[in-house]
Amino acid sequence: MKKIKIMCVIGTRPNFMKIAPLLRALKNYPKFRPILVHTGQHYDYKMSGVFFKDLNIPRPDYNLGIRAGLHGEQTGRTMIEFEKVCLKEKPDLVIVVGDVNATLASALVAAKLHTPVAHIEAGLRSFDRTMPEEINRLLIDQIADYLFVTEPSALKNLIKEGIPRKKIFYVGNIMIDTLKNQKYKAKILKQFNLKPKQYAVLTLHRPENVDNKKILENLLNIFDEVQKKIKIIYPVHPRAEKQLKKNGLTRFINQMRNFEIIHPIGYLENLALMSHSKFVMTDSGGVQEETTVLKIPCLTLRQNTERPITVTQGTNVIVGRNKNKILKEVNKILAGRTRRSKIPKYWDGHVARRIVKILCPKK
């Protein structure tokens, strides 16, 4: 029996959490032959290798080794190398996840080769086209053949954009499959001498927050006020670390006695760190979802979110870079006045199984 080749593409660490449960689910269907392609957009051990280990992801069949670069350069080089793999393997379906440059590049190549494309996490919209990810989302969804959505807003967005309803499947959030499948321990608390609920976690990496010195300085001044109320732990992203050093801001951070920068940590360590924290401050989309499921208050340091269900049903509050709003929400959390929340529909740990059933050929 000829096996159906399903090519799964990953590029950055958020992709790994979304593809891991899918690879496990595909193993239960002998008619499928998964092929894993890593574009290499995140490539060092702390940003990539440790996630393969934590999530038990098999060694990629192909590693394109694209690495960092400007948007056009990164997208173009990925297309060139990915096309070679597609021409060699001739996949029956290409599955892409999320909204990074690797996702768009792979989807474009597949579409031009007339290979069906499945997009996991389709339809999410921030309605902010200054975000590179928003451009990627819009383009990917226009050429995808299967659009798997995490929440009702995504389904509505796609229908408004003219995507045929028969292509859209409301399956839930596949990243929660990974979260629910992991047993994360609190060892990291001992490692950094932390006590549960006695610290806050910060993640900050988006260009709009870290690439502009004035904005970054403003945020650090806000964090200085917060750390006077509660300890802040910051697993620093390489991009942010580079900007802090470039702009001479590390000296200011060193003066904050209750603000601790640590090296990037693995997925399981990060889950443990967040799950025992008092609250999280972030500009990450995935963290907004994880904190909702972990029932940890989340303050999003952006003007918008492409994941509105984390606000309407989850633990997320959009605070932007507004000092008064951030401090107001921090004070509410520290006073025990946290918002009521619930876990969204289909964020149940069985999303990968639903996706594979949809992709399975009907007899």
The catalytic site residues sit at 205
> What is the C-alpha to C-alpha distance for residues 204 and 206, in angstroms, rounded to an integer?
6
- Partners of 281 in beta bridges: 202, 299
Q: Which tokens sit at 155?
A: 């389904």
| CB-based contacts of 212, cutoff 8 Å, min separation 6 | none
DSSP annotation of 314 reads S
DSSP annotation of 47 reads I
Question: What are the strands, taking DSSP E only, across the chain?
Answer: 4-10, 32-38, 62-63, 93-97, 117-120, 146-149, 168-170, 199-203, 231-235, 259-262, 279-282, 298-300, 316-318
Nearest to 83 by CA among 99, 64, 60, 98: 64
Q: Which helix (H) or strand (E) holds 25?
A: helix 13-26
> What is the C-alpha to C-alpha distance for residues 275 and 239, in angstroms, rounded to an integer?
25
Nearest to 102 by CA among 50, 45, 129, 62: 62
Cβ–Cβ < 8 Å for 123, 299 = no
> What is the C-alpha to C-alpha distance for residues 11 and 65, in angstroms, rounded to an integer?
10
Q: Which tokens sit at 311?
A: 């606000």
Cβ–Cβ < 8 Å for 57, 23 = yes
| CB-based contacts of 279, cutoff 8 Å, min separation 6 | 200, 201, 296, 297, 298, 299, 330, 333
